[in-house]
Structure 1
Amino acid sequence: MLQNYIRIAWRNILKNRFYSILNITGLATGIAFTILIAAYVWSELQVNKRVKNVDNHYIIESKWKDPNMGYEFATVGMLSKALKEQYPTLVKNYYRWDGITTNVSLGEKAFRESVQIGDSTFLSMYGFKVLSGNAATALADPFSVVISDKIALKYFGKTDVTGKVLTMENFGGSKHDFMITAVISYNGDNSVSHMLEDDANGFYLPLESASFFGRRIEFWDNPFIVSMVELQDGVTPQQLDKPIASLLKTHSTQQIAADMHPHLAPLKTFHLEKFNGVVKRMLYTLSVIVLFILLMAVVNFVNMSVSRSSSRLKEIGVRKVLGGLKKQLIWQFLTESTILILFATLLAFVVYLLVSPAFGQVLGKDLPRLNAFPLYFMAFPFLIIIVTGLVAGLYPAFVLSSMQSVDSLKGKLKTAKENVVLRKSLVAFQFFTAAVVLISAFIITHQVQLFFSKDLGYNKEFMISAQVPRDWTPAGVNRMEGIRAQLASIPEVKEVTLSYEVPDGNNSQGINVYHASADSTTAITSYLLSSDEHYATTYGIPMSEGKFFTDPGMKVDSSKVVINEKLAKALGWEHPADAIGQLVRMDLARTPFTIAGVTKDFHFSSMAQAIQPIFFTHIKNSNIYRFFSFKLQSKDIPGSIAALQRKWSELLPGAPFEYKFMDERLSRVYKTEIQLQKAAYTATILSIIIVLLGVTGMISLSVQKRTKEIGIRKVLGASVSGIVTLFAKEFMLIILIAGLLACPVAYMLMQKWLDNYAYHINITAEPFVVTLLALAGVTAVLIVTQTIKTALSNPVKSLRSE
């Protein structure tokens, strides 16, 4: 019997190819997008899941009285070690690391790389796979290095490289060879190898190498060390609160003990919760979007199935007259809808295989292959097939099969009235969803454009920056200043500055600033930025009053500082001019500083937070630097970069010229928002496709059912435009109702999203008007193209259509 149901279903599908293709395509589009987003969400949820004993692993985060005073993801260097040594019944193991960037070279190959200097427990705590080398002794020698398999392939083209040597440079300009003692593989994304960076660190040095790089790790007064602990089985994070407080009070400085409050954050959820849960919010948002898209596709399928079912009344009547049972008719309709959904699901998996690499690039993450998913994922397509098949087949299966045979043979559907209200409601839901998604995409795009606008308080156009070799001594600073002058002299470069920071939100640390005549209890927490006197002119930061340290070319007084308007007002000077010449202190220096200038406020970090107070010191005050920033001539950017690279190679031989445009650095700051924008674009395109497929099918069915009516109207004198308008009014009313419902929903959703940013756009009427006009315009085109042929045809043919 089942074979007979399938045979008849296949004949009906072939007989109505057009509608079958529309139905399968629309549903396959929704299912494919659902699988793509589900794959992305699942892969994000798998971060850290493959770490050994992950339920017992924690990161020691720090809450400060003022968030600008220190790093959230770091604590004092000795804390985790002391916890392990003094509370072994609570803490099983620990790992600390200090992150640096340095030049790594192999012969002529040289790259700027991220490096972790940390404890030897790294290899035993987290269960990373050791491809070659001895994990127990790999980090025993001060000049040993463990690398990842990707780094091994990058430098050597193979992974069996134990015993090979790489050369690294410290901040004094000295170089030393480091022997590769092990090669590891991560076995999945994790927050140990890349806590905050997009790309994983690939170099792991022993703690004993810290002195070569001038790093201070095992100290109670250094609050900038990433610290991780593994708790004993059954121990809760709350059990460490008192031991942590006791250790800080006993060993740390009074200020750190008073202002810093460490707590344990689970490693298992760290990736989702960091940066105020921005990743989790994005996953929720994408999940809601994909749910609406899938519902649109299912609704489209159901609507088409319900609409097509009424055309089969005579078939039902004939089968009942010939002895067909009600349950046989029910099984027939359910079988047909299930077969269509099965085809759609199979097509969706084919689409996933074809587009997942490109979609992964859009979201900035490699999507897993189908065989990488757990077995329980197989329930998802079966659930869609069964549920959608039942929903789509219920109406024709139970309602139409229950009709009297005489009514069926006459093609009458008096009781259900062809369920016009149901069909129109389903179409309205599709337009509603498409409108919400399209409006949201408009607003997200405008907000992302604001992130990259020219109104950042500085000029990012034609700006590139590159890290430089470090010699953090007075002689090293003088040398780099001389190189800066030579680089600035080439015609392709307008201006160059040497600094420790670029405007990407990564400042060295927060400091307390207060009046020289007051005490530290009145201090204002501020960003500390270190640069030369060319920083403001290179980045186009306007001065409100005074000078940026001094006039270019004049001798610099390292006791001079520059502040922004935000800090000036926080210190009590309403007018920036009042701050010039005033003496201030900061908690890291004994002598006071003189304010030489006040800059206009500018966005140094993300627009998710308000502009912060900024305190500039000259690089000669601390003798630290990291970046050359270049303002290029705008005529020929590739030519300017090529000329700059030649000059760089001449002045800094052996140092890689790895530059980034300012837009690229901002893209890293707003990575999640950009991913959401791209996903919204994709969802918008798919929702419009599904809507158009549904509208196409509905219009075609409506025209087909009203062919005789169109003929009568033409005989009675109706014009072509009047007939087209007849169909248009029906759908335009649906769009209007859907739009009126969608606009307030989209407004509330987007306003809540924008509230996460201290600086955001104002929602105007433009996205709502453009969206509704676009949907109406596209629908009108479809209506005209499908009705014009029938409206122009000979009315005699229309009257003979039955």
Structure 2
Amino acid sequence: LRFNSVESFIALRDAVNTNPMILSVGESDEHIGWGNYSRPMEYNDIKEDVALLDVGHGYFETMGLQLIDGRIFTREFEQTDKGKSIIVNEQFIKDFGIEEPIGKRVVMSDTVPLYIIGIMADYFPYGTWAEIPPTAFHFVRENRLRFLTVKTEIENLKPVNEYLEEEWKKVIPNFPYSGFFQDSLMDEARQINENIKDLYIFLGFIALILSAIGLYTLVSLSIIRRTKEVGVRKVMGSSVQQIILKISKPYAIIIAIASVIGLYAGYKSSVVMMASIWEIYTDLNAYTFIIPVVLILLVAAASIGWKVYSAASRNPTESLRYE
């Protein structure tokens, strides 16, 4: 939930803490997936802009962020954490090359010394379009609390959301309810991914249909030219299986060569395409290529199998009289 005033934030926070369906509540000024701000930080002559989020009590637990080392902000150390402590992600440690980071001092905006008290596992704030930025969490001042994050069991999502909306109307009756689900912040990224997937499935389907039509046409023309040859071979004692093998063999070789070339070209083009869209993506596995090849072989067999079989099974008398 996003608030315009601290007073409203505190009033609703105190109310929701009494609901047994709510597992935890987090406080923050910025929110993952919504936005952050950037500040230059320096460590051992390495200077880099860092994404910053001001967060408070309960935020890490509510958002399910994984603590790798150190500690999070606590009420016990609240006075020392204010203005002096930061929690950083793994990418922050890598970019600045910090060894044994807990307790190390970094400088923000050339003048503000901060001490690392914890390390969080990396996460993708807006999807996999860009590399994970070096990120730091700063303890939020109470007069800047804007986001209230609530965690509950999945089966309680609807009743908890309805409860929050009712409490909102009691506390802030003149403003529309601002609650949203965290998943909705990633809807755009998911929709783009789905659109890209659907586009390539459609293009692949069209390519498969056109290939089948082209292959069927080639086989039909070849059989028309070789009608008398088929009749002669049958008269000379060739079986249907031998004639099918004779006619199909050149196409099988062409399909095999095309499959090898297509696999290599498909792998290279897929890697280039994915790298141009996403910074992080799942590597291609063997099934990515085995399934299309099997599908192509089945379509090819269906395209030419019946035509070749009907030609090979034809009465040789009719074939020899064909003009």
Q: How does the TM-score come out when normalised to structure 2?
A: 0.79
- Name the CA distance, whole Å, in 2 between partners of 1:571 and 1:497: 29
Which residue of structure 2 aligns with residue 319 of structure 1?
Answer: none
Q: How many Å separate the matches in 2 of 1:665 and 1:675? A: 17
Shift of 1:685: 1.2
Mapped partners of 2:24, 2:212: distance in 1 = 53
Alignment of 1:222-233 (within 5 A): none
Residue 565 (structure 1) aligned with residue 90 (structure 2): yes
Deviation at 1:537, TM superposition (A): 2.5
Structure 1 residue 732: Cα displacement: 1.9
Matched, 1:718 2:238: yes
Instruction: Return the alpha-carbon distance in structure 2 between the equivalents of residues 479 and 602 of structure 1.
Output: 31
Q: In the aligned structure 2, how far is the partner of 1:499 from the partner of 1:729?
A: 69
Q: In 2, Cα distance between the equivalents of 1:714 and 1:657?
A: 80
What amino acid sits opposite 1:575 in the alignment? E
Residue matched to 1:478: 10
Selected match of 2:219 from 688, 699, 710: 699
CA distance in 1, matches of 2:90, 2:318: 80
Opposite residue 469 of structure 1, the aligned amino acid is: F
Q: 2:26, 2:233 → 1: CA distance?
A: 78
Distance 1:672 1:769, change over 3 A: same
SS of residue paired to 2:270: helix
Structure 2 Cα separation of the partners of residues 717 and 661 of structure 1: 74
Q: Is the 8 A contact 2:12 2:168 kept in 1?
A: no
2:164 maps to which residue?
A: 648
What is the one-letter code of the residue matched to 1:470? N
Report the Cα distance in structure 2 between the residues aligned to 1:627 and 1:477, rounded to whole angstroms.
7
- Residue 41 of structure 2 corresponds to residue 507 of structure 1: no
Asked if structure 2 preserves the Cα contact closer than 8 Å seen for 1:496 and 1:631, the reply is no
Name the structure 1 match of 2:269. Answer: 749
Whether 1:587 aligns to 2:109 is yes
d(CA) in 2 for partners of 1:540 and 1:719? 69
Matches within 5 A, 1:206-605: 467-471=1-5, 473=6, 475-486=7-18, 489-490=20-21, 494-504=23-33, 506-514=34-42, 523-550=47-74, 556-557=78-79, 558-559=81-82, 560-571=85-96, 573-576=98-101, 579-580=102-103, 582=104, 584-587=106-109, 592-605=113-126
2: CA distance between counterparts of 1:742 and 1:469?
A: 55
**Alignment partner of 1:507: what SS?**
coil
After TM superposition, the structure 1 = structure 2 runs for residues 766-785 of structure 1, keeping only pairs within 5 Å, are 766-785=287-306
Distance across 2 between alignment mates of 1:785 and 1:495: 65
CA offset digits 1:589-629 (Å, max 9, x no partner): 96x55543211222224434332221112333562324535
Secondary structure at the residue paired with 1:781?
helix
Residues 702 and 528 of structure 1: is their aligned pair in 2 closer, same or farther, counting only changes over 3 Å?
same
Letter in 2 for 1:641: L
**How well do the aligned residues superpose, as a CA RMSD in angstroms?**
3.4
Superposed displacement of residue 545, structure 1: 1.0
Q: Helix, strand or coil: the match of 2:306?
A: helix
Distance (whole Å) between structure 1 residues aligned to residue 246 and residue 148 of structure 2: 67
The CA deviation at 1:524 is 3.9
Q: How many residues align?
A: 314
> Is the contact between residue 41 and residue 110 of structure 2 (CA under 8 Å) also seen in structure 1?
no
Q: Is the Cα contact below 8 Å between 1:714 and 1:795 reproduced in 2? A: yes
Q: Is the 8 A contact 2:23 2:151 kept in 1?
A: yes
CA 1:725–1:667: 2 relative to 1, 3 Å: farther
Contact 1:528-1:616 at 8 Å conserved across structures: yes
**Per-residue deviation, 1:672:** 5.0
1:686 corresponding residue in structure 2: 206
Q: Are the counterparts in 2 of residues 606 and 669 from structure 1 also a CA contact under 8 Å?
A: yes
Which residue number corresponds to residue 360 of structure 1? Answer: none
Contact 2:122 2:132 in 1 (8 A): yes
Letter in 2 for 1:499: S
Query: What is the CA–CA distance in structure 2 between the aligned matches of 1:480 and 1:589, rounded to whole Å?
Result: 37
Deviation at 1:510, TM superposition (A): 0.4
Cα separation, 2, equivalents of 1:613 and 1:602: 10
SS of structure 1 residue aligned to 2:17: helix
Q: Give the structure, 1 or 2, with the largest relative contact order (CA under 8 Å, sep 6 or more).
A: 2
For structure 2, the 5+ residue unaligned runs are: none
Label 1:651 to 1:588 Cα distance change in 2 as closer, same or farther (>3 A). Answer: farther
Offset of residue 799 of structure 1: 3.7
Are the equivalent residues in 1 in contact too, given 2:128–2:279 (CA < 8 A)? yes
SS state at 1:561 partner: strand
Cα pair distance change 1:586/1:723, threshold 3 Å: same
SS in structure 2 of the partner of residue 659 of structure 1: coil
What secondary structure sits across from 1:687 in the alignment? Answer: helix
**Partners in 1 of 2:37 and 2:297 — Cα distance?**
54
TM-superposed deviation, 1:671 = 5.7
Matched, 1:618 2:139: yes
Give the aligned partner of residue 18 of structure 1: none
CA shift for structure 1 position 652: 1.0
Q: 1:483 to 1:690 in 2, by over 3 A?
A: farther
Q: Quote the sequence identity (%).
A: 20
- 1:358-404 deviation digits (Å, cap 9, x = unpaired): xxxxxxxxxxxxxxxxxxxxxxxxxxxxxxxxxxxxxxxxxxxxxxx
Cα distance in 2, alignment partners of residues 555 and 644 from structure 1: 31
Distance 1:665 1:723, change over 3 A: farther
Question: Is the CA contact (8 Å cut-off) linking 1:507 and 1:528 kept in structure 2?
Answer: no
Question: Are the equivalent residues in 1 in contact too, given 2:27–2:145 (CA < 8 A)?
Answer: no
Cα distance change on mapping 1:649 and 1:602 into 2, 3 Å: closer
Structure 1 residues 764 and 646: CA distance shift in structure 2, 3 A? closer
User: Would the alpha carbon gap of residues 792 and 600 (structure 1) be closer, same or farther in structure 2, given more than 3 Å must change?
Assistant: same
Say if 1:573 and 1:776 are closer, same or farther in 2 by CA, change over 3 A: same
Whole-angstrom distance in 2 between the partners of 1:658 and 1:702: 67
> 1:495 Cα shift?
4.3
Q: Contact 1:667/1:674 (CA < 8 Å) preserved in 2? A: no
Deviation track 1:686-723 (CA, whole Å, cap 9, x = no partner) reads 11111122222333333344333333333333333333
Q: Distance in 2 between matches of 1:494 and 1:723?
A: 73
Corresponding position of 1:271: none
Answer yes or no: is the 8 Å Cα contact 1:507–1:527 preserved in 2: no
> Post-superposition shift, 1:481?
3.0
Is the 8 Å Cα contact of residues 619 and 625 (structure 1) preserved in structure 2? Answer: no
Quick one: which amino acid aligns to residue 546 of structure 1?
A: G
Provide the C-alpha distance between the structure 2 equivalents of 1:749 and 1:681, rounded to a whole number of angstroms: 15
Give the secondary structure class of the aligned counterpart of 1:497.
Answer: strand
Q: Conserved in 2, the CA contact under 8 Å of 1:724 and 1:791? A: yes
* Matched ranges for 1:761-800 at <5 A: 761-800=282-321
CA contact (8 A) 2:50 2:135 kept: yes
C-alpha separation in 2, matches of 1:555 and 1:478? 21
